[in-house]
Amino acid sequence: MAKITINNINLEANEGEYILEVARKNNIFIPAICYLSNCSPTLACKLCMVDIDGKRSYACNTKVKDGMNIITSTEEIEIERKAIMKSYVVNHPLECGVCDKSGECELQDYTLLMGVDSQDLFISPSFNAFASWSHVKYDPSLCILCERCVTTCKDNLGESNIKAIKVDSPTPDATYWKERMPKDAFSVWNRKQKSIIGFVGENPCVDCSECVSVCPVGALGLKSFQYTSNAWELKKVDSTCNLCPSGCKITYEGKKDSKNKYSIYRVTNDFNFNPICGAGRFVYDISPRLDFNSFDLAVDAIKKAKSIFVGGNTTNNEAKFLASLKNKFGVKLVNNILKQYKDFISIYYGSGARSATINDISNHKVIVSIGSSLKNENPLLRYKINNMLKLKKDSRFIYIHPLSDKLISKLSKNVTTINLAANSDDVALLAILNILDSNNSLLNVLEDSKININHKIVQDGEEKTLDVEYYDLYIKAKLDYETFLKLESNLVQKPLIIIGSDLYAHPNAAYLANILSVLQRDDKISVIFIPPTSNANGICNVIDFDDEIDGYRVGFRAKGDYVFDSVDYDFALPYFSQLEDSITNIDYKILPLYPVNDKMDYLYQLSRYLGFDFEIDEIVLNNKYGNDGTDLRGIKTAPIISNYVDDIKFVKLDYVDFNAYMRDFGVHFYPYTKYSKNLDYSIGIYVSKEYLEKLNYSEGDVIKIESKYGRIEANIYIDFDMEGEYFAISPQINNVDEFFGKTKYIKAGVAS
């Protein structure tokens, strides 16, 4: 820890922290318009200048050292800051009444704060053409070249699709202005004359728009929001996204029309601490009518149901309601995916092991992902891993998955991709066990897997014997010796292992859970589990699942003979923007869902019709971040384990030869997303660009493919991050379950 003073206030801080971060943690204001928390500084605005022991420095990229005496405001500094703000508004249009950012514009705020009430600088404006990508429109005349959009695309998202590029139009003579501006103001002004923001990505940008979120002015905006409302007219409601397990904080912004109907105009986020994906930003346009439900028909369906299929984004109160129905009517509650997940984590937590949290990613230098198509399954985890790789140059990420992903590979030169055979996640964990437990101190718990084969190879002209216990399994799983050594060389520190949904349905799932628990309890690893659905942790903490049975089935936010849902329903349930409820996220935090209108009491009404009173939990939960990024949201809870399996055997498998894989795409984590009209991404069958050409199809064509279990047809699209001759298939396609035969990987061919 370093002892410093800021404005004569004695503080302690971690050596190596930036001064600006320390100031924000301690509620000390230093102006900055270009800096994003937990990202690389750009030094674009220079407003964060401070005095350190009599010397000028910039708080965003100066690291704390013991004994520093920092002053954030002097007469000289304030003159320079005012000059910088004057340079920003030399030609910045001031018709703020027609700008989408008016009322929440940081340039407006700082212009007023610095007291810029006159302008003594003038130059003829240059013209640069408007640009757009995906949902984004870009107006260069409003851009101040702070590069926050560049920073978030690189340091948070890992895509690096946006950069500052040279302007095409003539630039003014800098010599004249250099003599008339202070040094920092001239630097800011001159840089802005020479550059604009440009989209430079090799692949199209689809359903993101985080660049719009971070833009402090009106240069970047949403096409759908442009000229629709003034920002100050919008009612803001903080809530939680319930489309993937991250449970990101989102803010609904909308207003009522002349008929007193409230409409959501956009969704925003706390961009400094919680970048969000396109699902959270754009899937808000689902709004079922709730004034025509027949409670009598709903009650009849429940009373004659043999089972209720529980959808994976059922909320916490809804899960408790369904558990009450099970107790009262003896109806079976079914969801095979959640049952497999609960069995897996019951073995892990039941042994006394513990899990890490998303924020723990930044505390590790080695991250391993197994069994997850991370780009599609959980974008926030990918953002956090990318941020770690960008800010910790000696950190490493090992991505173990049957299919390679170009986006993951390009996050950093310190990414190692290992493509094993399908369903060989057990071998990946055995290899990690073999490396981390080199003295075999833990293997006494795992005796069934020991093979004791010494395999002879020729290396550098010499015959050597490998001390690898599981060599025959490795070869079957396509884990050759060189790949094993690559894995071993990267596990240089205690790794954080991220477990994806492929493992929960694995034939050796119980054994894998046991391996993880043994390694974690011995402090060899940390572990994060990606739940298979958005509220899996909340639902599994309330419901003990039954095996599927034949007979009349009710679907609750799922398919059934009678369906309770927000889309394709017999009984209309509120969508998440209409609910006052809660969910439990990947970190076992109970997070609030708050409605944009008055809350609805549909569960209470249903229970009364069914002959009992259901008490709904009142939701009083914080939904904020601290100045330092501390996640103050919700209430931390713990997994509730109702069963624990201790009879665990290892089964040797023949690993799957496949060319078709069922996975989520882009922002389509849950069936609801396919009903949104806001999204660019489509439901369909995805292939690499090269494979599409080989198949002689064009994007958007209908293709039919068949497996030994069945046939599906859908539109075919390019996934620019895919490599090889594979089909990646959206789980929302009709008959997809029959096509895969209850697996995720299968061999398929094009049907005539």
Cβ–Cβ < 8 Å for 656, 507: no
Strand bridging mode 526-529 / 727-729: unpaired
Pairwise CA distance, residues 500 & 503, whole Å: 6
Q: Is 562 helix (H, G, I), strand (E, B) or coil?
A: strand
Distant-in-sequence, close-in-space partners of 63: CB < 8 Å, separation ≥ 6: 15, 16, 17, 18, 19
- What local confidence, expressed as pLDDT, does residue 454 receive? 40
Q: Two tokens at 270?
A: 């706390």
CATH of domain 343-529: 3.40.228.10
Phi-psi region of 32 (alpha: psi -120 to 50; beta: other; left: phi over 0): beta
Q: Two tokens at 553?
A: 């089935």
Pairwise CA distance, residues 486 & 481, whole Å: 9
Tell me how long the chain is: 752
- What local confidence, expressed as pLDDT, does residue 445 receive? 46
Domain positions in the chain are: 1-73, 300-342+536-636, 343-529, 660-750
- CB count, 10 Å around CB of 250? 25
Q: Is 310 helix (H, G, I), strand (E, B) or coil?
A: strand
CATH topology of domain 1-73: Ubiquitin-like (UB roll) (3.10.20)
DSSP 628-649: T--B--SEE-------------
Pairwise CA distance, residues 288 & 307, whole Å: 25
- What local confidence, expressed as pLDDT, does residue 638 receive? 95
Residue with token string 């892990």: 348
Dihedral over alpha carbons 411, 136, 242, 267 (to 10 degrees)? 130
Closest-CA residue to 355 (of 243, 496, 469): 496
Pairwise CA distance, residues 101 & 109, whole Å: 11
- CB count, 10 Å around CB of 97? 8
- What local confidence, expressed as pLDDT, does residue 163 receive? 96
Pairwise CA distance, residues 268 & 285, whole Å: 14
Cβ–Cβ < 8 Å for 576, 239: yes
Residues β-bridged to residue 55: 52
Cβ–Cβ < 8 Å for 405, 375: yes
Residues β-bridged to residue 222: 136
Cβ–Cβ < 8 Å for 304, 552: yes
Provide φ and ψ at 725, rounded to 5°.
-100, 80
Pairwise CA distance, residues 208 & 380, whole Å: 12
Looking at domain 660-750, its CATH class is mainly beta
Pairwise CA distance, residues 272 & 151, whole Å: 11
Residue with token string 């350190």: 52
Distant-in-sequence, close-in-space partners of 308: CB < 8 Å, separation ≥ 6: 302, 322, 325, 326, 331, 332, 333, 334, 553, 554, 555, 556, 560
Q: Two tokens at 588?
A: 């076992």
User: For the chain, what is the radius of gyration of the CA atoms?
Assistant: 28
Amino acid in the structure at residue 750: V
Q: Two tokens at 422?
A: 């399908």
SS (H, E, C) 699-733: CCCEEEEECCCCEEEEEEEECCCCCCCCEEECCCC
Measured in whole angstroms, the distance separating CA 401 from the mean position of its chain's CA atoms is: 18
Cβ–Cβ < 8 Å for 142, 93: yes
Cβ–Cβ < 8 Å for 687, 716: yes
Q: Two tokens at 435?
A: 């490396």
- CA-based end-to-end distance of the chain: 69
Q: Two tokens at 90?
A: 């030399």
Residue 249: in which H helix or E strand, if any?
Answer: strand 249-256
- CB count, 10 Å around CB of 46? 21
Dihedral over alpha carbons 579, 583, 585, 590 (to 10 degrees)? 110
- What local confidence, expressed as pLDDT, does residue 377 receive? 87
Cβ–Cβ < 8 Å for 733, 644: no
Q: Two tokens at 317?
A: 């109160």
Successive 10-residue mean pLDDT values, the chain, 752 residues: 95 92 95 95 95 95 95 95 91 83 93 88 78 95 95 96 88 78 89 92 93 96 94 95 96 90 94 95 89 89 96 96 95 96 94 94 96 91 97 95 94 95 90 78 48 44 54 80 89 95 92 90 95 97 94 96 94 93 97 89 90 82 91 95 72 84 86 90 95 97 96 96 94 92 92 89
- CB count, 10 Å around CB of 292? 8
Scored b (16 or more CB within 10 A) or e, 405-433 reads: bbbbbebbebbbbbbbbbbbbbbbbbbbb
Closest-CA residue to 596 (of 293, 233, 261): 261
Its sign, for the CA torsion 152, 155, 156, 157, is positive
Pairwise CA distance, residues 472 & 456, whole Å: 12
- What local confidence, expressed as pLDDT, does residue 468 receive? 45
Cβ–Cβ < 8 Å for 40, 391: yes
